[in-house]
Structure formats: C-alpha cells, structure tokens
C-alpha cells in the first residue's frame, strides 16, 4: 500500500466519521494518526462531549470487532484480561477470554477503576497480548485501543500511573462544542441514531497494510536528531519533573510518520513533528512544583521546548 492510498483510506474514514461525530478536523486527524500507526489514544475530557461517539464511529467505519469496557470501581482485572476456569464438560481448566479480546477497544472512564484494574491493560497496550496463569494469549489483529478519562477533580476518579500514561501514543481533548456545532449535533440526532446509519468503508486488512506502509515512511537522520533534542530538552527543563522516555521519542517518531502519510508524503518533514508534538507529549510530561506555581500548562511547556530547538532544514 502506498502513502497515497493511505491518504485516500483516511479520507474515507474521515467522511464517514463526520456523518455521526461533530468536531474539529484536528481532533479527528489525531485519532486517525493513532489508528493508522497503531498508537493507543487517550481522550481526556468531561462526560457527554462525544468521546464514545467518535470511537464507535471509527470502529463501524473500519469494520473492526468493537467492545466498550466500562471501567467502574468494581471492575476486576480478570474481567478485562480473562481468566482460567474449570470446564465440567472437558474436565480441564480452559481460558475464558476477557473483554480485551476484540480488535477495537473503548476503555471508557479508565480512571474510575482502581490502579490494579487499570494495570490489566498494560501488557495489551505494549505487547498486544495478555498473560493469564502463565499462558500468553495474543490479541486479535489489527488491535486498537481508545481510552477516555474524566478530569481528576471529578468524584470517584483515580490518577493514572505514569507508566500507563506513557503507553498512550497520543492524547486529545474536545472541549465544549461551539453553538453552531451543537445545533448540528441536534439536527444529526433528531430522528435517528447516526451511528446506525454508518457504513464500513475499509477492511481490517486495509488497516494492517496501512500501518506497515505508514511505518515505512522515510525519516531523515536530521529528523531523528531533532526528536532526540526535543526529548533531551524535556529532561532538562526546570518545569518538568519527568521528561520524555525513549518510548515517548519513538511514539513521536511514529506519529510524525502517520502525519506524513495522511498528507500523502513518503518522508517526514520537521513540520510533521511539530504538528503532533502536543498530542504526543502533553499527557506524559509530569510538571514540577515550579511549573504549577507559575501556572504553566503541559501545552505551554511543549511550546517552550519546541521553541528552544532549531528545526532541521533542507529535508525532502
């Protein structure tokens, strides 16, 4: 599959998603970049602004087997990963798959579950498998996970551990819609469920091929040096207590490749890195007490870091 084909497939998905979801192009593109590169996506926002609608729309349009897992306080790790149970018929222990055994997972309100249950996702997010009683079970392919979390000031929420945040390749936040967008939402849902009217426009094999092609987008050595300089700046920044990990650097690389592929380009340019940097970094940079005292947001810190690094030139 060529990058031009990826661009065409992405446009088909974008058009179909817009039949049910009202939101910015940037929001949809961030999710599509994660989807087409295999990076997990975290949506951080208040309830009721369309997080589930976006996820379900993408699942229907892509033809993937979809499951929504509600992360409530009483959810157990075994409910997610599966468990070994005794079969009276076979007179042996068998593996009973958990909710994670689907191609497209929406982990809804992830931070309402306990840390123990949240950690049930760690292996699936990194290795795309689950291990139960010493036996590893691969997840169905292609696999993609979108998680949502409520603001921490909401009742009944638990902070996601740093190790889990670092496994999300991208994050996005919607915010409240504009007045015009909210009218468009009301028009859309007035007489029917718009998701029920969506069509599947690509196949699971298309997604597998697109991911292989997107990760084959060329990355110049100067771009890689640029990525490392960004990472080192976050590690030395006085406003950052925990900077970018090597995993974060690799996620930034893959997201930039996805951005280039969505643009129909076979190579990454510095602007690709800059355009995805906020989505890749803002959820994983842990700010210092000085940053909070100076009212620095993660987005502002990302801007400061990018402003301190020179963009490579002459890449094409």
- What is the DSSP secondary-structure string of the chain? --HHHHHHHHHHHHHHHTTT----HHHHHHHHHHHHHT--EEEE--TTSSHHHHHHHHHHHHT--EEEEE--TT--HHHHHEEEEEETTTTEEEEEE-TT-SSEEEEETGGGS-HHHHGGGHHHHHHSEEEETTEEEEPPSS-EEEEEE--TTSTT--PPPHHHHTT-SEEE---PPPHHHHHHHHHHHSSS-GGGG----S-HHHHHHHHHHHTTSB--HHHHHHHHHHHHHHHH-TTEEE---HHHHHHHHHHHHHHHHHTT-SB--HHHHHHHHHHHHTTTPEEPHHHHHTT--HHHHHHHHHHTSPPP-S--
Confidence of residue 153 (pLDDT cuts 50, 70, 90): low
Residues of the chain with pLDDT > 90, as a percent, come to 49
Residue of 83 and 141 predicted with greater confidence: 141
Segment 153-168 shows an average pLDDT of 81
Tell me the whole-structure pTM to 2 decimals.
0.90
pLDDT at 188: 85
Greater model confidence, 42 or 118: 42
pLDDT score of 83:
85
Phi and psi at 263, nearest 5°, equal: -90, 0
Give the chain's mean pLDDT: 89
Q: Which of 105-114, 150-159, 210-219 has the lowest mean pLDDT?
A: 150-159
Domain ranges of the chain: 3-208, 215-307
Q: How confident is the model at residue 156 (pLDDT cuts 50, 70, 90)?
A: low
pLDDT at 155: 63
pLDDT at 95: 81
- Whether the predicted pLDDT of 224 surpasses 90: yes
Look at strands 286-287 and 240-242 and give their pairing. Answer: antiparallel
CATH: 3.50.30.30, 3.40.50.80, 3.30.420.40, 1.10.8.80. Which one for 215-307? 1.10.8.80
Pairing of strands 66-70, 104-108: parallel
Q: Are 263 and 217 in contact (CB under 8 A)?
A: no
Kindly report, residue by residue over 118-150, the tens digit of the pLDDT.
888 888 888 889 888 888 889 999 999 999 988
pLDDT tier for residue 316 given thresholds of 50, 70 and 90: low
Identify which has the larger pLDDT, 282 or 290.
282
In this predicted structure, the answer to whether residue 294 has a pLDDT above a threshold of 80 is no
Which tops the pLDDT comparison, 76 or 316?
76
Q: What percent of the chain has pLDDT over 70?
A: 98
The pLDDT of residue 157: 77
Taking domain 3-208, whether its CATH number is 3.40.50.300 is answered by yes
Distances in whole angstroms, Cα of residue 25 to Cα of each of 15, 84, 169, 174, 292: 11, 44, 19, 11, 31
113 falls in which pLDDT band (50, 70, 90)? Answer: confident
Encoded tokens for 267 = 């190579």
**Choice among 37-51, 67-81, 155-169 with the minimum mean pLDDT:** 155-169
106-110, 226-230, 288-292: least confident range? 288-292
What's the pLDDT score for residue 147?
92
**Contact call for residues 146 and 105 (beta carbons, < 8 A):** yes
Confidence check: pLDDT of 212 > 90: yes
- Contact, 45 vs 111, CB < 8 A? no
CA distances from 108 to 4, 55, 148, 207, 248 (A): 33, 10, 5, 23, 23
- Whether residue 11 has pLDDT greater than 90: yes
Q: What mean pLDDT do residues 177-186 have?
A: 88
Q: Of 30 and 192, which is predicted with more confidence?
A: 30
Common-topology check for domains 3-208 and 215-307? no
């Amino acid at each position: 599959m060529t990058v031009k084909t990826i661009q065409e497939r992405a446009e088909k998905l974008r058009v179909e998603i817009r039949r049910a979801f009202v939101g910015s192009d940037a929001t949809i593109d961030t999710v599509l970049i994660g989807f087409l590169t295999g990076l997990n996506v975290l949506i951080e926002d208040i309830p009721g602004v369309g997080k589930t609608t976006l996820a379900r729309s993408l699942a229907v349009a892509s033809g993937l087997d979809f499951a929504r897992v509600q992360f409530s306080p009483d959810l157990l790790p075994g409910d997610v990963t599966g468990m070994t149970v005794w079969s009276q018929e076979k007179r042996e222990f068998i593996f009973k798959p958990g909710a994670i055994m689907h191609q497209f997972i929406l982990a809804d309100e992830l931070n309402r579950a306990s840390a123990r249950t949240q950690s049930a996702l760690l292996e699936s997010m990194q290795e795309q498998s689950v291990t139960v009683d010493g036996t590893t079970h691969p997840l169905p392919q292609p696999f993609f996970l979108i998680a949502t979390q409520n603001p921490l000031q909401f009742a009944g929420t638990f902070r996601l551990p740093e190790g889990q945040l670092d496994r999300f390749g991208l994050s996005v936040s919607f915010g409240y819609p504009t007045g015009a967008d909210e009218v468009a939402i009301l028009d859309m849902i007035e007489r029917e469920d718009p998701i029920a009217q969506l069509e599947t426009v690509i196949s699971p094999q298309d997604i597998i091929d697109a991911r292989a092609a997107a990760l084959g987008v060329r990355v110049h050595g100067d771009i890689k040096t640029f990525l490392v300089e960004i990472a080192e700046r976050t590690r030395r920044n006085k406003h950052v207590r925990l900077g970018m990990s090597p995993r974060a650097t690799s996620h930034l690389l893959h997201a930039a490749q996805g951005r280039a592929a969505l643009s129909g380009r076979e190579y990454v340019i510095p602007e690709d890195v800059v355009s995805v940097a906020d989505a890749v970094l803002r959820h994983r940079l842990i700010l210092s007490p000085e940053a909070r005292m100076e009212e620095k947001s993660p987005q502002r810190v990302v801007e400061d870091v990018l402003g301190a690094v020179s963009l490579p030139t002459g890449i094409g």
